[in-house]
Amino acid sequence: MHKVLVTGGAGFLGSHLCDALIARGADVLCVDNFFTGTKDNVAHLRERPRFELLRHDVTFPLYVEVDRIFNLACPASPIHYQRDPVQTTKTSVHGAINMLGLAKRTRARILQASTSEVYGDPEVHPQPEAYWGRVNPIGPRSCYDEGKRCAETLFFDYHRQHRLEIKVVRIFNTYGPRMHVDDGRVVSNFIVQALRGADLTIYGDGRQTRSFCYVDDLVDALLRMMDTGPDFTGPVNVGNPGEFSMLELAELVLKLVGGKSRLKHLPAPEDDPRQRKPDIALAQAKLGWAPKVALADGLKETIAYFRRALAA
Ligand SMILES: NC(=O)c1ccc[n+]([C@@H]2O[C@H](COP(=O)([O-])OP(=O)(O)OC[C@H]3O[C@@H](n4cnc5c(N)ncnc54)[C@H](O)[C@@H]3O)[C@@H](O)[C@H]2O)c1
């Protein structure tokens, strides 16, 4: 049985990962500074004897005994990570150094939740892991994109220099229950707007595409990645390759929620990528993984969650 540290464990993805680890019988230490995560996300686990919650900021060192580390701490939505961009870079970079230092001391296997944002505004579609990306180093998204790129560099340097067992997963847009109501990303925006009877905001012409992975599929991939042999480090893309334009997504949400909302167009934000779609051939080959949950099914679960959250 593993002693597993999940940083950012009270966040959207982290809390689902804690659920899955507890269900597998692991001993879970959930660490979070509650910047975007909440105790509510893991409240149902508090009585479980194998679950522990610790308030801690990963930009400071942590001394605990574990043998697996999932490093998820970092705000993921632009609204949140741009609120304090210096702290965002610190969380990615100092957080990675501190968690890698912990892994080095305990000889734990460590997984980094990286992101498709390391590809920036890509010239290659879909993006394979070998593509180096096209990232603006000085824009408003750079604190996140470059922080995550530097974290990947640190992971590979610790691997080469200290022979650490590392796993790097590049996560593409993921959605599901426990996303923030004010998260600002498109799935939650559309659902919350539709549930409130407000118009759905489309940035730009709405023809930019995104792929959407349901959280259960993502967690399954993280667990499979952690279980791969020591020779497989990644980076590996994880996401759902189904590509949808913002207009298609808006129409699907409106159909599932019902109501009288319409579409409202606003200017596209700076550095907004036109297209984003994972090439998951490597994940399929190395993890035996592919997403299973169809967008309409995942949206139904997510809509049900937001309905409850808005009514509370
Ligand atoms: N959700 C996605 O679509 C997506 C896509 C790509 C990558 N990711 C990555 O997955 C991870 C989890 O994302 P999420 O969607 O669950 O976001 P989230 O904001 O819900 O979760 C992040 C968690 O990290 C915590 N945190 C932030 N800074 C911290 C710090 N300094 N110390 C300790 N805890 C801190 C937050 O309080 C929160 O609980 C992030 O690293 C993110 O970059 C997510």
**Does residue 72 have its Cβ closer than 6 Å to ligand 1?**
yes
pTM of the model: 0.96
Q: From edge to edge, which strands make up the β-sheet containing 3-7?
A: 51-55, 27-32, 3-7, 68-71, 109-115, 166-171, 236-238
* Residue with CA nearest ligand 1 atom 12: 72
Whole-number pLDDT of residue 271: 63
When pLDDT is averaged across residues 78-86 and rounded to a whole number, the result is 94
When pLDDT is averaged across residues 223-248 and rounded to a whole number, the result is 96
Whole-number pLDDT of residue 1: 84
Residue 294 pLDDT exceeds 70: yes
Q: Which of 63, 81, 119, 144 is catalytic?
A: 144
Of 151 and 270, the structure prediction assigns the larger pLDDT to: 151
CA dist 167 → 36, 170, 233, 254, 267 (Å): 24, 10, 5, 38, 38
When pLDDT is averaged across residues 162-175 and rounded to a whole number, the result is 97
Whole-number pLDDT of residue 82: 93
**Does residue 302 have its Cβ closer than 6 Å to ligand 1?**
no
Over the stretch 2-22, which tens digit does the pLDDT of each residue have? 999 999 999 999 999 999 999
**Does residue 58 have its Cβ closer than 6 Å to ligand 1?**
yes
Q: Rounded to the nearest whole angstrom, what is the distance from the C-alpha of residue 8 to the centroid of ligand 1?
A: 6
Could you write out the DSSP letters of every residue in 214-275?
Answer: EHHHHHHHHHHHHTS-TT----EEES---EEEHHHHHHHHHHHH-SS--EEEEPPPTT--S-
Residue 112 pLDDT exceeds 70: yes
Neighbour tally for 34: CB within 10 Å: 13
Whole-number pLDDT of residue 262: 92
When pLDDT is averaged across residues 214-239 and rounded to a whole number, the result is 98
**Does residue 36 have its Cβ closer than 6 Å to ligand 1?**
yes
Active-site annotation holds for 144:
yes
Mutate to test the pocket of ligand 1, among 64, 74, 92 (most ligand atoms within 8 A of CB): 74
Percent of the chain with pLDDT over 70: 99
Token output for 304 = 């049900």
**Does residue 69 have its Cβ closer than 6 Å to ligand 1?**
no
The phi, psi pair for 81, rounded to 5°, reads: -75, -20
Q: Rounded to the nearest whole angstrom, what is the distance from the C-alpha of residue 171 to the centroid of ligand 1?
A: 11
Residue whose tokens read 């949400």: 253
Whole-number pLDDT of residue 122: 87
Whole-number pLDDT of residue 121: 85
Give the model's confidence band at 125: pLDDT under 50 very low, under 70 low, under 90 confident, else very high. confident
Using an 8 Å Cβ cutoff, are 184 and 78 in contact?
Answer: yes
When pLDDT is averaged across residues 279-307 and rounded to a whole number, the result is 98
Whole-number pLDDT of residue 273: 67
Average per-residue pLDDT for the chain: 95
Whole-number pLDDT of residue 161: 98
| Continuous segment of H or E residues that includes residue 147 | helix 142-162
Residue 270 pLDDT exceeds 80: no
